[in-house]
């Protein structure tokens, strides 16, 4: 394949590789963000459900219990966290939820009810949670979400405030003297009291691992990557076929530009290119340059006309082509001047080769013209010699041969 077409294929390959990397990473990044967004919605739904549950406990369940107490069906000092503490119920509901997830082989969701004034020490808010509660109470935040890393694994942390204290909450969270005695017996009269209406005393946070989504992303990405890679390979193969066909046409054009139209051997343009390449010869054989000139060719043209002169050129070319080796390169470099670049073991072999060419032409009978002779000059490439010097010495040898005609000279 021609060098410029090879470069084109390499550039296209590099472009496809860069595009493939960009597409693969972009798709993975988009999927990852979608997974995080979906998990955030999932957690938000769970938290909203828990908020709804607390609302039901405070506004329906507790009212029902207080009504039973007012009717003396239940003692007025009655308090049981299993049915009256939204925090207790939420924590146990989430425990049951995780048990169900475990049965379904789903990752556990970590949760915490964090309070700035908890009755149960396990609900004590840390420094970060206290800061969140402060922002929730100051209406700086409505919810909080963040991707975090725990033990080199990615999680989504999501926090939402519980509903602010209302009038019903004050029975258990204002003055300890107003609280049911059963509550005081269970938790004491120190923690969880002296709160105000409207105060957000706790937040509910959930932390869910992203490993399930990442595993799905990996599967989707693998399939997508293979499809994209396949499409790029098909596109590259099509481009390769097109460029290969164009390369073939380019070669034909180049080859035609290197061929002499009349004799169908290499022309001067090809000779100028090849003689430079032979300077960098790395073989054990020595390069030789042979120049051939048809004796008295002008006389042939003047006597028989140019069509006959063209016939002589074609016939002579055919004879020489039939008697050179496949690795010898044969050129028409002027009107009646030819050149052969060959490699030989030594001077004697090149001389025998020249004598063979001279003899074949001399003994051939050309139609209408009869006998035609040639003059030959040849020379071996010297070490550290440039192609100009090489050609000049061969030309000088030919000039000497043409002085006597039908002669071989060397330099």
Q: What is the pLDDT of residues 99-117, one digit of tens each?
A: 998 898 888 888 888 999 9
Long-range contacts of 8-13 (CB under 8 A, 24+ apart): 8/243, 9/239, 9/240, 9/243, 12/236, 12/239, 13/236
Q: Which of 50, 129, 213, 336 is catalytic?
A: 336
Asked whether residue 37 carries a pLDDT value surpassing 90, the answer given is no
- 240-264 as b/e, with b when 16 or more CB fall inside 10 Å? beebeeebeeeeeeeeeebbbeebe
Question: Where does residue 110 fall: left (phi above 0), alpha (psi -120 to 50 degrees), or beta otherwise?
Answer: beta
Give CA–CA dist 231/238, Å, rounded. Answer: 11
- What's the CA gap between 280 and 278, in Å, rounded? 5
Active-site residue flag, 336: yes
CA dist 65 and 63 (Å) reads 5
Which architecture characterizes domain 268-410 according to CATH? Answer: 2-Layer Sandwich (3.30)
Task: State the pLDDT at residue 294.
Answer: 95
Write out the two tokens for 203.
């937040």
Q: What is the pLDDT averaged over residues 224-247?
A: 90
Number of neighbours of residue 99 by Cβ within 10 angstroms: 10
Cα–Cα distance measured from residue 125 to residue 172, given in angstroms and rounded to the nearest whole number:
20
**Contact criterion met (CB below 8 Å) for 387 and 282:** no
User: What angle in degrees, to the nearest 10, is found between the helix axes of 211-257 and 3-56?
Assistant: 160
Overall average pLDDT of the 343-356 stretch: 93
* Arithmetic mean of pLDDT over the chain: 88
Q: What are the tens digits of pLDDT across the range 125-135? A: 999 999 999 99
CA 7 to chain centre: 18
Rg (CA), the chain: 49
pLDDT at position 356: 95
Compute the average pLDDT of residues 284-301.
92
- Confidence (pTM): 0.52
Cα of first residue to Cα of last residue in the chain, in angstroms, is 38
Structure tokens at 265: 């051997």
Which of 33, 24, 26 lies closest to 213, judged by CA? 33
The DSSP-derived string for 46-58 is: HHHHHHHHHHHII
- What does the DSSP 8-state code read for residue 370? B
CATH 3.30.70.270 in the chain, residue ranges: 268-410
Range with the poorest average pLDDT among 169-173, 267-271, 289-293: 169-173
Residue 291 or residue 55, greater confidence: 291
Strand order in the sheet with 408-410: 329-332, 337-344, 286-294, 374-380, 408-410
Statement: residue 329 has pLDDT above 90: yes
Q: If you average pLDDT over residues 14-28, what whole number do you get?
A: 92
For 332: left if phi > 0, alpha if psi spans -120 to 50, otherwise beta; the answer is beta
């Amino acid at each position: 394949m021609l060098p410029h077409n090879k470069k084109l294929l390499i550039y296209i390959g590099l472009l496809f590789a860069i595009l493939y990397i960009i597409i693969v990473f972009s798709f993975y990044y988009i999927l990852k963000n979608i997974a995080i967004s979906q998990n955030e919605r999932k957690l938000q739904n769970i938290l909203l459900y828990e908020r709804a549950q607390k609302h039901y406990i405070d506004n329906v369940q507790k009212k029902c219990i207080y009504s039973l107490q007012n009717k003396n069906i239940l003692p007025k000092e009655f308090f049981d966290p299993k049915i009256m503490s939204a925090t207790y119920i939420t924590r146990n509901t989430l425990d049951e939820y995780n048990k169900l997830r475990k049965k379904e082989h789903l990752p556990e969701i970590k949760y915490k009810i964090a309070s700035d004034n908890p009755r149960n020490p396990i609900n004590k808010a840390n420094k970060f949670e206290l800061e969140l509660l402060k922002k929730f109470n100051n209406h700086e935040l409505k919810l909080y979400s963040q991707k975090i890393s725990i033990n080199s694994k990615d999680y989504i942390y999501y926090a939402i405030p519980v509903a602010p204290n209302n009038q019903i909450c004050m029975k258990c969270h204002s003055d300890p003297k107003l609280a049911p005695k059963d509550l005081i017996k269970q938790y004491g009269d120190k923690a969880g009291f002296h709160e105000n209406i409207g105060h957000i005393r706790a937040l509910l946070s959930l932390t869910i691992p992203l490993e399930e989504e990442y595993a799905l992303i990996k599967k989707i990405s693998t399939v997508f990557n293979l499809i994209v890679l396949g499409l790029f390979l098909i596109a590259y193969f099509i481009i390769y076929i097109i460029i290969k066909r164009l390369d073939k046409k380019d070669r034909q054009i180049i080859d035609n530009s290197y061929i002499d139209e009349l004799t169908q051997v290499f022309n001067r343009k090809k000779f100028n290119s090849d003689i430079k390449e032979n300077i960098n010869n790395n073989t054990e054989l020595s390069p030789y340059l042979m120049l051939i000139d048809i004796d008295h060719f002008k006389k042939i043209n003047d006597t028989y006309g140019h069509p006959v002169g063209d016939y002589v050129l074609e016939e002579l070319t055919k004879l020489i082509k039939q008697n050179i080796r496949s690795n010898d390169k044969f050129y028409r470099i002027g009107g009646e001047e030819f050149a052969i670049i060959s490699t030989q073991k030594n001077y004697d072999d090149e001389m025998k080769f020249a004598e063979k060419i001279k003899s074949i032409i001399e003994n051939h009978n050309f139609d209408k013209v009869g006998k035609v002779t040639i003059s030959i000059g040849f020379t071996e490439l010297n070490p550290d010699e440039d192609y100009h010097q090489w050609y000049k010495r061969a030309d000088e040898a030919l000039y000497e041969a043409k002085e006597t005609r039908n002669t071989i000279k060397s330099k």
